[in-house]
Copies of this chain bind each other. A is one copy, B any other.
Amino acid sequence: MNRAPEAPPIASRDNPRVKRLRRLVHDGSAYRREGVVWVEGDHLCRALLARGWQPQVVVASPAAQALVQAWQRDAGLAPEVPVWTLSEALMAQLSTLESPAPIACLVALPAVGGVQAGVPTVVLDRLQDPGNVGSILRSAAAFGFRQVLALRGTAALWSPKVLRAGMGAHFGLSLIEGLDAAALAALQVPLIATSSHQGDWLHTARLPWPCAWLLGHEGQGVHPALMAQAAQTVRIIQPGGEESLNVAAAAAICLHASAAAAAGGL
Contact = CB atoms under 8 A, between A and B. Distances in A.
Contact of A239 (B236, B244, B259): B259
Contacts of A143: 237-240
Contacts of A138: 243-246, 249
Nearest to A165: B246
Contact of A237 (B201, B244, B256): B256
A135 B203 CA distance: 21
Interface string A160-189: 000001011100100000000000000000
Contacts of A251: 249
Contact of A263 (B135, B203, B245): B203
Interface string A225-266: 000000000001111100111101111110011011011011
B265 A203 contact: yes
Residue among A138, A236, A245, A256 having the largest count of chain B Cβ atoms under 10 Å: A256
A266 B142 contact: no
Interface SS of A by simple majority: helix
A259 B237 contact: yes
Interface in A101-149: 131, 135, 138-145
Residue among A169, A204, A246 having the largest count of chain B Cβ atoms under 10 Å: A246
A201 B131 CA distance: 27
B172 A243 contact: yes
Contacts of A141: 240, 243
B265 A142 contact: no
A251 B248 CA distance: 11
Contacts of A204: 265
3 closest A-B pairs by beta carbon, nearest first, are: A249-B252, A203-B260, A144-B239
